[in-house]
Homo-oligomer: A and B are copies of this chain.
Amino acid sequence: MSDSLLQLRDALRAFAAERDWDQFHSPRNLATALSVEAAELLEPFQWLTDEQSRNLSLETRAAVEEELADVLLYLVRLADQLGVDLVAAGRAKIKRNAQKYPVEKARGSSRKYDAI
């Protein structure tokens, strides 16, 4: 994992330890919280067109930025509790996706598409 993510991981560990919150941070609870935050991130987009979503107001963008942060924090915390190296997992997934969606077949088609 990268240095910056390691720093976030360590900050979250300290945050939970100081508040005696490890008892609440089971993987199940963290996965639930992450899913709730992901929906809060989706919420401001739900009635926008694609075009509108590319041109958010400053107010909406600020709210979205905070939800992005929430998802990141739960993601880092959950990966930590499970002993997963997030960046390594992300790199491995990009490789698998490159094999699953070869450039020549996937170009411009959302048919084949179900991942980044």
**B2 and A5 contacting across the interface, CB-CB below 8 Å:** yes
Q: How far is the CA of A72 from the CA of B92 in the complex (A)?
A: 12
Complex copy number for this chain: 4
Task: Kindly list chain B residues whose C-beta atoms are within 8 Å of the C-beta of A79.
Answer: 68
User: CA–CA, A33 to B32, complex, Å?
Assistant: 11
Q: A31-B42, A34-B41, A68-B79 are in contact. List 13 more A-B contacts (CB 8 A).
A: A4-B4, A12-B116, A15-B97, A20-B107, A27-B53, A32-B42, A33-B46, A36-B42, A39-B39, A54-B81, A68-B82, A72-B86, A73-B90
Residues of A within 8 A of B (CB): 1-5, 8, 11-12, 15-16, 18-21, 23-24, 26-29, 31-43, 45-54, 56, 61, 64-66, 68-79, 81-82, 84, 86-87, 89-94, 97-98, 101, 103, 106-108, 110, 113-116
